[in-house]
Amino acid sequence: MSRSPSLPDRPTLDLDPESSPRERLQALKAHYSDILEVNRELERQLTRIQDRRAELREKVDALQRENETLKTASLYVATVQDVTEAEEAVVKQHGNNQEVLTEISPDLADTLEMGDRVAINDSFAIQEILDDETDARARAMEITDSPAVSYADIGGLEDEIREVQEAVEDPLSHPERFEAVGVEPPSGVLLHGPPGTGKTMLAKAVANHTDATFIKMAGSELVRKFIGEGSRMVRDLFEMAARREPAIIFIDEIDAVASKRTDSKTSGDAEVQRTMMQLLSEMDGFEDRGEVRIMAATNRFDMLDRAILRPGRFDRLIEVPDPDATAREEILRIHSERMNLAEDVDFEALARRTEGFNGAQLESLTTEAGMFAIRDDREVVRMGDFREAHEKLETEASQGRPPYTTYIQ
Ligand code: ATP
């Protein structure tokens, strides 16, 4: 703490009553110049104090701003679906897809447009329109409080479900069992296998069953869209998970950031390397990871840098294969559960005929069959519709069109 500067002595005037007028005049002049000197010194001190006060005021302002920021509750990210004439907006919250109608505050009324991404508070009031950078970073992660996928929605992966339960669900739900036995649960679980076989579904289902927040980030987006930001995004991802625990981090297409090192020295490769190093250091430094579990998925297991498979990193591998006939039959049943089916629909026969189809393609098959029934103005889906759908998808695949485009991630 700085002390107050000491004040100069106050000048005094002692006039000798015996002195001549001339001597008195000189004494008065000397006294006047003393007073001027003291005045100048006091002015200098006043300026210094005023500068210091301005400095302290700035500090107080900055601390007050920081305090306000710390006190403000987090906001949710949403997309504006519609703006009405009555200055209301329909916003859809990311993650839970809840749509709400909310009033637009007058200061945003002129600028808000359909499609804008916005930050909303607990009462869904729009607080600000997000700029591209905030927006992009928010979009890089998909955060869902409780994904709407359960184990019962996954066909033919009983063994894999059990393995995921042991490796991810049990450590979250019963950490004491691991402590009692004295074993460390797996650090990270890597799901690998061909595309569209249910890897993402498995991760979502385990988040749902453990009431954990599901935080997904796609490796490919990290390197394609967020050039120069990959390692920061990985840091954000782990920070976000720690704030939202219990949480499951799911890194899809991890091969995009964790492929075997190449000798090429392009800046893109350097960026991918940096992102992977950040990921490894987050995993290594994440010893006491509390109620956060890490999962990842890849279709390119062969490409992975073995560094990420070391103990303490992705040390539990679960292969998710293409479905066999029994699994295909189950998947078809799951996806047509809510369909109005004719008696002649024979899933066993369909499963035999769809050798080589993955889960996503089987889902497309059921949707296409439904479309054929609608086109025919029927409310019941028949075996013939499934046959036609099958033919259509086979033809599209043979023409080299991206197969089964109705499959939505
Ligand atoms: P990718 O490797 O391409 O990301 P993935 O293995 O993660 O694929 P999912 O995203 O889990 O695959 O599956 C895509 C869609 O396919 C799911 O939404 C679901 O409708 C369907 N599907 C895939 N596998 C199964 C399954 N085993 N049971 C039921 N539906 C499935």
pLDDT, tens digit (0-9, with 9 covering 90-100), for 269-322 = 677 777 888 888 888 876 666 788 899 999 988 888 888 888 888 888 999 999
Distance 354 CA to ligand 1 centre (A): 16
Cis peptide before 246 (omega within 30 of 0): yes
Structure-block tokens of residue 400:
């080299």
Tell me, what's the pLDDT at 408? 33
pLDDT along the chain (409 residues), means of 10: 73 86 91 94 93 92 79 75 88 80 87 85 85 62 82 92 90 84 85 92 90 86 66 81 86 83 56 80 73 89 86 89 93 91 90 90 92 90 92 78 42
Distance 192 CA to ligand 1 centre (A): 12
Task: Report whether residue 155 contacts ligand 1, using a CB cutoff of 6 Å.
Answer: yes
Task: Report whether residue 252 contacts ligand 1, using a CB cutoff of 6 Å.
Answer: yes
Task: Report whether residue 147 contacts ligand 1, using a CB cutoff of 6 Å.
Answer: no
Task: Report whether residue 230 contacts ligand 1, using a CB cutoff of 6 Å.
Answer: no
Nearest residue CA, atom 31 of ligand 1? Answer: 359
Distance 178 CA to ligand 1 centre (A): 31
Return all residues near 297 (Cβ < 8 A) that are at least 6 apart.
190, 191, 192, 199, 200, 203, 250, 251, 252, 253, 254
Tell me, what's the pLDDT at 205? 92
Q: Which helix (H) or strand (E) holds 277?
A: helix 267-284
Nearest residue CA, atom 19 of ligand 1? Answer: 360
Tell me, what's the pLDDT at 228? 63
Q: Which helix (H) or strand (E) holds 251?
A: strand 247-252
Task: Report whether residue 163 contacts ligand 1, using a CB cutoff of 6 Å.
Answer: no
Tell me, what's the pLDDT at 137? 62
Task: Report whether residue 196 contacts ligand 1, using a CB cutoff of 6 Å.
Answer: yes
Task: Report whether residue 281 contacts ligand 1, using a CB cutoff of 6 Å.
Answer: no
The strand ranges marked E within 70-201 are: 76-83, 88-93, 99-103, 117-120, 126-129, 141-144, 188-192
- The C-alpha atoms of residue 253 and residue 144 are separated, in whole angstroms, by 19
The strand ranges marked E within 258-334 are: 292-298, 314-319
Tell me, what's the pLDDT at 347? 92
Residue with tokens 């066993």: 348
Output DSSP code: residue 245. Answer: -
- The C-alpha atoms of residue 100 and residue 104 are separated, in whole angstroms, by 12
Residue type, 125: A
